[in-house]
Amino acid sequence: MKIGIVGCAGRMGRMLINEVLATDGCNLAGGTEREGSDFIGVDLGQLAGAGETGIACTDDAAALFTIADAIIDFTLPVATTDHAALALEHGVSLVIGTTGLNDDQQGALDVAARRTTVVQAANFSVGVNLLLGLAEQVAGVLDESFDIEIIEMHHKHKVDAPSGTALAIGKAAAAGRGVNLDDVAQRVRDGHTGERRNGDIGFATLRGGDVAGEHTAVFAGAGERIELTHKAASRVIFARGAVRAALWAKNQPPGLYSMKDVLGF
């Protein structure tokens, strides 16, 4: 399967290159960066520390979509919207790890999924997706006397908050309680806030250092507390899951899928 990487010079992009090169059944179709990037023309293997591949980084995403079977995108919402349009035009499978999309940008993915296979996940880790399932199950068992708080920490370079994974955990917990997350989410607390509102799902965001990703769902009741935690020691787990999703997408009909579909949960 020919897999292309957009945003190939970033932290995730380089790990994705390595994972594609190391995975049986995969061939690296190419990689792109934004126009004017210093990495244009650099061998993709050199970028990833994997040796020469003979494939150079370009700024021509449209050309990459014409030769790839699947594209993996961990970029930014504006770029992901453009890539969704290219996937729609060329019928190329699209694996999306970009977070922080607004409604219009998400709509572009929904449109692309009418013609091609789109796998979208806030987190491609197997462990995180297990956490999502557990959070939904626990929230469904416990009533509103248990307060739900989502705590997350990432490296200082992450640009969106709360993280897409934290929001996904919140959505899972809300689904367990049969409510809409937007109706109960409390993302910011500052100053004299008053007592916590019963039934809210709160979020706390930490940023610093080179933390790959840590998430905890806290269910706090009177006299007891349940915590579900996932800690990522390396971004390799996200790259591994994304490549797994690309391979899975090869035999799927058009539609918008999640890692739950890929893993068969």
Amino acid letter, residue 237 = I
Kindly report the number of other CB atoms within 10 A of residue 103's CB atom. 6
SS3 59: coil
Give the H/E segment covering residue 101: none
158 is known as an active-site residue: yes
Tokens, residue 193: 């806030």
Kindly report the number of other CB atoms within 10 A of residue 81's CB atom. 19
Q: What is the distance between the alpha carbons of residues 132 and 166, in angstroms, rounded to a whole number?
A: 10
Q: What is the distance between the alpha carbons of residues 131 and 120, in angstroms, rounded to a whole number?
A: 17
User: Which is catalytic among the residues 83, 154, 171, 230?
Assistant: 154
Burial of residue 181, with CB atoms counted within 10 A of its CB: 0-12 exposed, 13-18 middle, 19 or more buried: middle
Contacts with 143 (C-beta within 8 Å, 6 or more apart), sequence order: none
Strands (E), 53-146: 70-73, 93-96, 117-120
Place of tokens 């969704």: 84
User: Which is catalytic among the residues 155, 157, 158, 260?
Assistant: 158
154 is known as an active-site residue: yes
Residues with catalytic roles: 154, 158
